[in-house]
Amino acid sequence: MLPIVNHPDYVAQIGDDHRFPINKFGALFQLLQQDKIIRTDNLFIPEPVSHADLLKVHKAEYIEKIDNLSLSKEEERKLGFPMVPSVKRRSYMATGGTVLAARLALQYQLACNTAGGSHHAFAGAGNGYCVFNDVAVAAHSLLAQKLVRRILIYDLDVHQGDGTAEIFKNHPQVYTCSIHAKKNYPAKKQQSNQDIELEEHLQDEAYLAIVEDSLQKLSKQSFDFVFYVAGVDVHEDDKLGALRITTNGIIKREQMVLSHFYQRKIPVCGVLGGGYNKSFEHLVYLHSILHRTCHHLIHHGT
């Protein structure tokens, strides 16, 4: 089966008119249930991430500010969320969700969170709708327990995984690869182990060739675990992304990426990443492609 991790607290109360489409997490859960990708036997409920796990990545002073809801106005502006109790709860739960999904991926080869991919969060600061860097926390958690030796963080969100790059700079056991639009946020990029910058308006064929090529090059290295940040803000109708990838292009991308690692028997933990499509309904569908593709691989092998 394909384990999928979800918690109702992924939906924080930030107001329905907020720029960030927070209700997509609840709608994604409903869609996956409706389409029987989530059933009772493969649904896993996370615990809030522990302080011990958070401290492997984040500075104590920063965690304290989140706990006390005491970010400055400027810090709150950079984060993009109002620092209210439900945002704090959501951040703890979504990070706990990726920690749990990573454990499940080791056991089942594929597992997904229905949130996560908060790649703009740095050790001491939140940025761009990211409070805690869930993937970094989960990676450190696996390493601390010696469950894996070398991790790939493969980030195909349209924005650079800048927080992740900075957190794992010079870390011998974690390799970060980010394929993102050069023009998009953040203006000041960090250095991943590998950054592939895409020109704006790039379309399916060229994009998929670049992804395929990167997978081939990465296969020359040895990894025993992959976090896949499956951002759908590469879509042509995304409000923030600068690329022109179609829905079919995203379907092909997920098939290419996930079957690549699945066939090599490397466990993959899939997380959502960003998505800000003009159509809310289509956005929810786009995010579900990750889970649908994993479901298909597990049940049909292709």
Residues in contact with Zn ion by the rule CB under 5 A = 157, 159, 231, 233, 274
Q: State whether residue 275 is helix, strand or coil.
A: coil
CB 111 within 8 A of CB 2: yes
Please, which residue, 249 or 274, has the CB nearer to Zn ion?
274
Please, which residue, 231 or 249, has the CB nearer to Zn ion?
231
Cβ at position 23, least distance to Zn ion in Å: 18
Q: What angle do CA 254, 259, 261 make, to 5 degrees?
A: 105
Please, which residue, 179 or 268, has the CB nearer to Zn ion?
179
Cβ at position 157, least distance to Zn ion in Å: 4
> What DSSP state is assigned to residue 186?
P
Cβ at position 232, least distance to Zn ion in Å: 9
CB 128 within 8 A of CB 120: yes
Return the HEC string of 33-55. Answer: HHCCCCCHHHEECCCCCCHHHHC
Please, which residue, 134 or 233, has the CB nearer to Zn ion?
233
Cβ at position 276, least distance to Zn ion in Å: 8
Cβ at position 219, least distance to Zn ion in Å: 25
Q: State whether residue 213 is helix, strand or coil.
A: helix
CB 79 within 8 A of CB 132: no
Please, which residue, 6 or 277, has the CB nearer to Zn ion?
277
Instruction: Give the largest Cα separation in the chain, rounded.
Output: 50
Please, which residue, 3 or 274, has the CB nearer to Zn ion?
274
CB 177 within 8 A of CB 89: no
> What DSSP state is assigned to residue 108?
H
Strands, sheet with 4-5, edge to edge from the N-terminal-most edge strand:
43-44, 4-5, 110-113, 268-271, 225-229, 151-155, 174-181, 194-198
CB 134 within 8 A of CB 118: yes
Cβ at position 298, least distance to Zn ion in Å: 27
Q: Give the nearest residue (CB) to Zn ion.
A: 274
Cβ at position 62, least distance to Zn ion in Å: 21
Among positive and negative, which fits the CA dihedral 248, 252, 254, 259? positive
CB 244 within 8 A of CB 201: yes
d(CA 224, CA 214): 17
Please, which residue, 231 or 267, has the CB nearer to Zn ion?
231
Please, which residue, 161 or 267, has the CB nearer to Zn ion?
161
Cβ at position 275, least distance to Zn ion in Å: 8
Among positive and negative, which fits the CA dihedral 9, 225, 124, 121? negative
